[in-house]
Amino acid sequence: MIFGLCPVPSRELHNAEGRKKSKREAKDTLDMPDKRSSVSQNFIKNIIEEDLRANKNEGRVHTRFPPEPNGYLHIGHAKSICLNFGLAQEYNGLCNLRFDDTNPTKEEEEFVESIKEDIRWLGFDWEEREYYASDYFDQLYDWAIRLIKDGKAYVDHLSAEQIREYRGTLTDPGRESPYRNRTVKENLDLFGRMKAGEFPDGACVLRAKIDMASPNLNMRDPVMYRVLHATHHRTGDKWRIYPTYDFAHGQSDSIEGITHSICTLEFEDHRPLYDWFIDQLGIHHPQQIEFARLNLSYTVLSKRKLLALVEEGHVDGWDDPRMPTLSGLRRRGYTPEAVRDFCERIGVAKRESLVDISLLEHCLREDLNRRAPRVMGILRPLRVVITNYPEGRVEELDALNNPENPEMGTRKVPFSRYLYIERDDFMEDPPKKFYRLAPGREVRLRYAYFIRCVDVVKDHKSGEIIELHCTYDPETRGGWAPDGRKVKSTLHWVSEGQAIRAEVRLYDHLFLRPDSDEEKDGLDFKAHLNPDSLEVLVSCPLEPSLAGASPGSHYQFERLGYFYVDTKDSSPDRPVFNRTATLRDTWAKIRSRGSR
Ligand code: ATP
Ligand code: MG
């Protein structure tokens, strides 16, 4: 909100405020890609609709969201969740949750639980269909045996490094391993011994026997199983060999009867391999469809990088409100509605792009503007003494809880001789376009009175302004002058004696550069971390209606932004407020410049 800076006469501004804002927002919505049409033009839907017309898969639509439980979900995963669950909903189908837990060394139970919590929070339900790739280890083993028996897989003793070397490059064909033409009998024996734990880690692998000269590197005898003496979070110590993601993923989809396996573009080159396994085994064949992953400006969307930020202490855990994780966004005050709206607006495409983080913030503002009650609080207080207001008197003034939604009612705010305003709402020597408080000037205190600054009190030594002396006009109660006199700005304020004190945390982008996810100039991605991404204000005076504000509630602090009562660090007598977003909608500006 900009009424403090706006040269429009204040009464008009005040009266028109609700209408004006919603007009502006209506325009915003018109300028945005229309939600329905962008989704119906989504190429994945075209494929599905084609399949339905052809009665492929007996008209079933069955998708899945397949996270690897090696980190917390981020906003990129939300795109995939909304897509997979959304398509199932739209076509009367089903969506499974499957944990791709083939790598026992990186996976933890904590991640499984957090992933489930995040999907539920987003508003999706996998009902009883919670699966694990590890549930299929026996089946996958049997299929590996079948491929060995068919002469399509062999045990190789080359080291990982040699395998890489023998694989060749995009321009050079690969070389065959000297172990490639072992007999079926020998392979069965060795693979059985791998399973029995007779070999140390890395001593041998099971590889598919496909084509070392294939132009697709994934088809050059990829590894199917590796020896790993590790305890798995679900199968314990049962297995000494683990299937690779490439051998497990497509078959897991097949076992679950998935019709459309939707994944990100980096798996496009793996598709021929998944198809090969499925065709060799003669099992149900899901159709894999790739789409471009979400990249978001000023942040990183890779679990590996996010894990590094957590482990190296650059942030305060996976749910640090600066993190692009769903738990971080939630703790910051994002709503599931805003995240879903964002995912719908970005749509799906085949081409990688960088989405501006201000679009995500825009979706949040649209949602919170409707529902967050407005209150007044001061971040950087400047004391004001109303010299003609009686000492000891406190009066209660009526304030609207949301001028755009009268149903949200009113509340009382106390007014007294001693108040706080925002330090930067006063300038002793204001430049031309500064319309807020200055010596001799009159402004409105929101819902209260007109006040005029009559004196500036400074610290003798430092010269710092410590207090303003103002007079108020008792005739202007409620913020209107009976003589029609206008003021150029309206300030928020808090009465000193009744204020509660709270910690307020202000956030900025986690990274300084929009393309922080790209490793450029040989610099580590952490070189671009924003050192000022968090500012903690320890004792901000807030209006007393905020006493006992419950953790998890949203507010709009007038003129300052949307705030969320922290769910972790707040206590009943000491709430902590996280700023979710400021009120400045940079997305609207970016779009009107036409740079989207
Ligand atoms: P990361 O690169 O962050 O480690 P990942 O792809 O390894 O992610 P998975 O747990 O394998 O993470 O992802 C589960 C699903 O989410 C996959 O289908 C993946 O394609 C999808 N996904 C992951 N990141 C994004 C993203 N940025 N945008 C859209 N979908 C994503
Ligand atoms: Mg992955």
Q: What is the DSSP track for 110-127?
A: HHHHHHHHHHHHHT---T
Listed residue (297, 316, 357, 232) closest to 513, CA to CA: 297
Q: How far apart are CA 117 and CA 341, in angstroms?
A: 19
Atom of ligand 1 nearest to the CA of 67: 10
Regarding whether 316 and 218 lie in a shared domain, the answer is no
Indicate the residue among 243, 261, 290 that finishes a domain: 243
Query: Would the CB of 66 count as within 6 Å of ligand 1?
Result: yes
Q: Is the C-beta atom of 301 inside 6 A of ligand 1?
A: yes
Helix (H) or strand (E) holding 319: none
Domain with 486, as residue range(s), is: 379-491
**Are 124 and 267 found together in one domain?**
yes
- State if residue 70 touches ligand 1 by the CB under 6 angstroms criterion: no
pLDDT higher than threshold 90 for residue 512: yes
Same domain, 83 and 52: yes
The ligand with the least distance to the CA atom of 347 is: 1
Let me know if residue 124 belongs to a domain: yes
- Domain assignment of residue 300, yes or no: yes
Pocket flag, ligand 1, residue 250 (CB < 6 Å): no
Same domain? 88 vs 191:
no
Ligand nearest to the CA of 307: 1
- Tell me what the mean pLDDT of segment 311-338 comes to: 98
Residue 516: pLDDT band (50, 70, 90) is: confident
Phi, then psi, of 593 in degrees rounded to 5? -80, -10
Q: Atom of ligand 1 at shortest distance to CA of 266?
A: 20
208 in contact with ligand 1, CB cutoff 6 A: no
Which residues are catalytically annotated? 68, 293, 303
Whether residues 349 and 452 share a domain: the answer is no
Task: Report which of residues 403 and 152 the model is more confident about.
Answer: 152
Question: How close is the Cα of 276 to the center of ligand 1, in Å?
Answer: 23
- 252 and 128, same structural domain? yes
**Ligand nearest 66 Cα, by number?**
1
CA-proximal residue: ligand 1, atom 4 (nearest): 303
471 CA → ligand 2 middle, Å:
64
How many independent structural domains does the chain possess? 3
Q: Is residue 103 part of a domain?
A: yes
Whether ligand 1 lies within 6 angstroms of the CB of 106 is answered as no
213 plus 306 within the same structural domain: no
SS3 content of the chain, % helix, strand, coil (to 5): 35, 25, 40
CA–centroid distance, residue 61 to ligand 2 (Å) = 23
Task: Reply yes or no on whether the pLDDT at 12 is more than 70.
Answer: no
Same domain, 254 and 353: yes
**Strands 94-99 vs 241-243: parallel, antiparallel or unpaired:** unpaired
Do 464 and 411 belong together in one domain? yes
> For 254-293, b where at least 16 C-beta lie within 10 A, e where not — what string?
bbbebbbbbbeeebeebbebbebbbebbeeebbbbbbbeb
Q: Are residues 293 and 352 in the same domain?
A: yes
The last residue of a domain, from among 466, 491, 516: 491
Residue of 68, 72, 80, 519 to mutate, ligand 1, most atoms within 8 A of C-beta: 80
Is the pLDDT confidence value at 23 over 50?
A: no
What pLDDT score was predicted for residue 26? Answer: 32
Q: State CA 367 to chain mean position distance.
A: 15
* CA 51 to ligand 2 centroid distance, Å: 27
How many other CB atoms sit within 10 Å of the CB of residue 593? Answer: 7
Let me know if residue 561 belongs to a domain: no
Residue 127 lies in a domain: yes
Q: Is 302 in the pocket of ligand 1 (CB under 6 A)?
A: yes
Ligand 1 pocket check for 118: Cβ under 6 Å: no
pLDDT for 521 equals: 64
What's the confidence (pLDDT) of residue 523? Answer: 75
Confidence of residue 37 (pLDDT cuts 50, 70, 90): very low
- Helices 184-196 and 137-149, packing angle to 10 deg: 160
Kindly report the CATH number assigned to the domain that includes residue 234.
3.90.800.10
Q: SS3 string of 148-159?
A: HHCCCEEEECCC
- Ligand 1: atom nearest CA of 294 is 28
The tens digit of pLDDT for each residue in 446-456 reads 999 999 999 99
The length of the chain is 596
Q: 161: Cβ–Cβ under 8 A, 6 or more apart, which residues?
A: none
Give the per-residue pLDDT at 118: 98
In the predicted structure, residue 15 carries a pLDDT above the cut 80: no
Find out whether the beta carbon of 67 lies less than 6 Å from any atom of ligand 1: yes
How far CA 475 is from CA of 179, 472, 495, in Å, comes to 96, 9, 19
Sequence-separated (6 or more) residues with CB below 8 Å from residue 9? 486, 488
Q: 69: Cβ below 6 Å to ligand 1?
A: no
Per-residue pLDDT, 594: 56
CATH number, domain with residue 441: 2.40.240.10
Structure tokens at 550: 């419950």
Summarised one tens digit per residue, pLDDT across range 372-393 is 999 999 999 999 999 999 999 9
- 384 shares its domain with 277: no
Q: For residue 335, is it within any domain?
A: yes
- 103, 139, 387, 506, 525 from 156: Cα distances, Å: 20, 22, 89, 56, 37
CATH number assigned to the domain comprising residue 304: 3.40.50.620
Q: Whose CA is nearest to atom 25 of ligand 1?
A: 76
Q: Extract the tokens encoding 277.
A: 């396994």
In the reported structure, the alpha carbon of residue 67 is separated from the centroid of ligand 2 by a whole-number distance in angstroms of 7
State percent of the chain over pLDDT 90: 86
CA of 76 to the centre of ligand 1 (A): 7
Strands 294-296 and 353-355: parallel
DSSP at 294: E
Nearest ligand, CA 301: 1
123 and 272 in a single domain? The answer is yes
Q: Torsions phi, psi of 248, nearest 5?
A: -90, -35
Residues 321 and 332 sit within 8 Å (Cβ to Cβ): yes
Per the domain annotation, does 229 fall within a domain?
yes
In the reported structure, the alpha carbon of residue 189 is separated from the centroid of ligand 2 by a whole-number distance in angstroms of: 32
Q: pTM here?
A: 0.90
Residue 228 lies in a domain: yes
Last residue of a domain, one of 215, 243, 271: 243
Residue 572 confidence (pLDDT): 82
pLDDT at 4 over 80: no
